[in-house]
Every structure is written in C-alpha cells, then in structure tokens.
Structure 1
Amino acid sequence: MTMRFKVVIATTLTLLCIGFTSGVSEGAVNPESTESSMLRQHLARIESLTGQFEQTIFEYDEQVEQLTGDFALQRPNLLYWKTKAPEESVLVADGETVWYFNPFIDQVSIFSQIDAMAANPLLVLLNDSDWSQFSISRLALNAESMAVDIKEEWVITGHEDGQQLKLSFNAAEELVAMTLTDTFGQRSEFRLLNTRMNTAIPASRFVFEVPDGVDIDDQRNVN
C-alpha cells in the first residue's frame, strides 16, 4: 500500500469515529471523567451525517494540497467518502471491507476494515466503548475559533501512536470542523459544509461495485 493510500485511509476513516483530543499537559483522563462524559453526549447525538467537505493538507506547516468532496457516514461503521477532481477518488467502508478506488491509476485497493483501523485508536470511539487508550481534553477557545462561531473544541490523543484529532462544534452542537495531526508532520484540516444529521441514507450508498477492467490490489489477509 502506498503512502498516499495510507494517508487517504487514515484521514477518511477518521469520520467513521468522529473523535480525538490531546492530553495537553493533563496526562491520561479517566474515561468516565466529566470531560469524557460531555464528549460522549456530543457524539451520541450523531447517528448519521452527510454533507460536503473541504480538506487542506499540511506537511510541517506548509500547505501541500486542497481537496473537496462529498461524504456520508452512518455510525457505527459505514462511510462513503468521495474526493472530487483533480484528485478524484472514492472510499467506501461497508462494515467489513474498505474499498478505495483511484480512477487516475485505474485501481481498486481492498482492505479488511478491522485491520485498516486496528492501529487507529479511533476504532474505540467508533464503537463508543473503552476510552482508556486516550487522553481527552476540552480546549479553551481562542479568538480565531470564536471568530468562526466555534463554541466548543475537544482534542483526543491516542496513547499508543500519539495521533491527535481536534473536533470543533458550533452553538447548535453540530460538528463543523476537524483537524487530524499525525506523528509524521502531516496535518489535515477539514471543514464540514451543508451537513445534515440523522437523516436516512440509502443502504446502496455504502455498497461499492468494482468497475470493469480495473486493477485490484487486495490487501486482505496480507501479512
């Protein structure tokens, strides 16, 4: 799997889980703490979410790419994520398998969904179960956040890999932005636009049909 595929999967599978935050000098937070409970309440409101996204990718604080597209997610484990041209791609997670189609190289890469997320602490948030692997903090808002009507921000940090995800909510408790930072100097900033929460999504949205004539890179059961 190329680094490009890894980046796409890491960032888009984030939406399956909707969560992350940094310990920010607080150390590990008990998963049953007040902060954890408050964040759980926010996330519990989201059964499904659809909309558009704008993604800006930075490497060592230098902007390297901007992407736009459409998404649909249904908790706990379904995701459709389409990036528009010129970097067109489609990622579908159907609960068992992750399908990533890159039409530029005419290839579909296939991954076990469990394996694709095994190293990602967001899997715990996806199932809304044990948060003991994370430090969770509610951030103090700065002037920049308040200027764009952000009312609450949270950071979740994985103890094992150090990845961080900042979640930003508006006054209506709607998720409007996310920032995913890894340990390799890459940061992806997402703006979520025209979102609709808890509306019915056709089951067909989370079914991927392999186009005729494309190469298949099946990474399932590959050691």
Structure 2
Amino acid sequence: MPLRRILAASILLCAAVSAQADGIGDLESFYNNVDSLSADFEQVQQDDRGNTLQEAGGTFDLSRPDSFRWEYTEPYKQAIVSDGDVFKFYDVDLAQVTIRSIDATLRATPALLLTGGAALEDAFNIASAGQRDGMSWVKLTPRADDTDFQEVRLGLKEQVPSVMELDDNLGQTTRIRFTDVELNPDLPDSRFTLDIPDDVEVVDGRGMNEGGGNQ
C-alpha cells in the first residue's frame, strides 16, 4: 500500500495526548485540552516478516477540528493539506494535486481522530491496550469493512503523542514516531492552504462517489 494512502489514514491518529494509565482517558484529554499541535515524524513501513519496505520523514501540523498539514520532506516531497473545507494531496514528483471533499475523504477513516466527537465511536471500536515501552496505548478497529487497515494503535507518553502503529490489509505495519511535539502552538491559517503551481495537473474529485477507504 502506498505511503500516501496510509497517510490520509495516518494523519492522523497522531492527535492523542496525556500520560494517564488509561489510554482512552488520554485520548479524551487530547480533545479537551489540545486545539493545535506541531511535530516532526519518522515513518517506517514493514512487511509481515518485519522487513523494511519504505522509510520517510517530515512534519505535521494540526488545528482542530478539521485543519491539518502532513508534509513529507524526505526521501520525496509530498503534502496532504486540509483547510477545513477541502482535502488536497500534492505529489511534487508527479506534479499533480488531487482535491477531495472533507466528508468523502475523512469520515470513517483514522483521520476521523482529528475531528473527534461522537462520530469517532460511530466509526471505531475503541479500547485501552495497556502499557508498553513506557507508554499507555489505545487500540482502534474500524467498524466498516472497506477500510485499508485492520487495526490502529496509539502510544501516549508524557502528555504528547509518541507512536502510532497501523496494520493494513496486506499484513504490513506502518510505525510513525513523533518528535519535537509542541502543544497548542499559534499556527497561521496559511499553514493549512496549498498554493498550486500553474504547471501542476489538478484532479478534482469533489462530487464524485468517493469511498472512505480510498485514501
């Protein structure tokens, strides 16, 4: 599965914060206490035998409820941006921007964790997953059958998001580690817009029959 698909799935789940023993309580604390977040990330994708398939890194910014910017800076350049109205994926190497509606792109996917609220429990089965590696963990399994992943695990430490693990339907696991996390930074609205160069192809998928699992 391409990293960019895991990404829309990923971008998100990074937003859980608190160091309580109960992972569900940690997740609730995030919604209550954190309106914005900025972090660096390192991402590793492995097959079912633990062999590394891809490695990448970049930055992540979040402004709840619906704005975020997940940007890969190495080994390639890609950006996934939501301004609260539309979702844009910019692949620099392909010189292509894909635009999709927020509802079609984010609902019933892990990115739902960015919005929180009652809809979260409608899309996921959520359970505390104990302690591991000095972190409290939450396990989320999608209620829908047409998602790209089987399970997502969040590791929370010292009131900041630390690790996210995603198991996809091919038996692969993507592990994302967050560093230099800043809580409630003052992020400008411009951080959640995407200026599209004139020579870039734009694929506008709004209004089309988009499925929540096609991230």
TM-score (norm 2): 0.81
Instruction: Please state if 1:139 is matched with 2:129.
Output: yes
Aligned-pair CA distance for 1:123: 2.2
Instruction: Please state if 1:164 is matched with 2:144.
Output: no
Instruction: Please state if 1:191 is matched with 2:190.
Output: no
CA–CA distance in 2 between the matches of 1:123 and 1:207? Answer: 20
What one-letter code is carried by the residue in structure 1 that aligns with 2:142? G
What one-letter code is carried by the residue in structure 2 that aligns with 1:155? K
Is the CA contact (8 Å cut-off) linking 1:111 and 1:219 kept in structure 2? yes
SS at match of 2:179: strand
Instruction: Please state if 1:76 is matched with 2:65.
Output: yes
Aligned residue among 207, 211, 223 for 2:193? 207
Tell me what 1:92 maps to: 81
Is the CA contact (8 Å cut-off) linking 1:168 and 1:177 kept in structure 2? yes
Aligned residue among 32, 36, 44 for 1:56? 44
Number of equivalent positions: 199
What one-letter code is carried by the residue in structure 2 that aligns with 1:10? A
User: Are residues 86 and 41 of structure 1, via their aligned partners in 2, closer, same or farther at CA, if it must alter by over 3 Å?
Assistant: closer
User: Are residues 220 and 14 of structure 1, via their aligned partners in 2, closer, same or farther at CA, if it must alter by over 3 Å?
Assistant: farther
Specify every segment of 5 or more residues in structure 1 that has no aligned partner in the other structure, as ranges: 20-33
CA–CA distance in 1 between the matches of 2:79 and 2:110? Answer: 23
Structure with the higher strand share, 1 or 2:
2
Tell me what 2:6 maps to: 7
How far does the alpha carbon of each residue in 1:191-216 deviate from its partner, in whole angstroms, 9 at most, with x for none?
A: 11101001110111001111121111
Aligned residue among 104, 111, 117 for 2:100? 111
Aligned-pair CA distance for 1:105: 1.1
Aligned residue among 29, 35, 38 for 1:47? 35
% identity of equivalent residues = 25
Aligned-pair CA distance for 1:93: 0.8
CA–CA distance in 2 between the matches of 1:88 and 1:65? Answer: 14
SS at match of 1:212: coil
CA–CA distance in 2 between the matches of 1:65 and 1:211? Answer: 28
What one-letter code is carried by the residue in structure 1 that aligns with 2:6? V
User: Are residues 44 and 180 of structure 1, via their aligned partners in 2, closer, same or farther at CA, if it must alter by over 3 Å?
Assistant: farther
CA–CA distance in 2 between the matches of 1:100 and 1:47? Answer: 23
CA–CA distance in 2 between the matches of 1:117 and 1:83? Answer: 19
Root-mean-square deviation (CA, aligned residues, Å) is: 2.4
Is the CA contact (8 Å cut-off) linking 1:11 and 1:188 kept in structure 2? no
SS at match of 2:130: coil
Aligned-pair CA distance for 1:36: 4.5
Is the CA contact (8 Å cut-off) linking 1:153 and 1:166 kept in structure 2? yes
Is the CA contact (8 Å cut-off) linking 1:137 and 1:154 kept in structure 2? yes
SS at match of 1:199: coil
TM-score (norm 1): 0.79
Aligned-pair CA distance for 1:125: 6.2
What one-letter code is carried by the residue in structure 2 that aligns with 1:9? A
Tell me what 1:31 maps to: none
Tell me what 1:175 maps to: 161
Which of 1 and 2 has greater Rg?
A: 1
Runs of 4+, deviation exceeding 3 Å = 2-5, 34-39
Aligned-pair CA distance for 1:180: 1.8
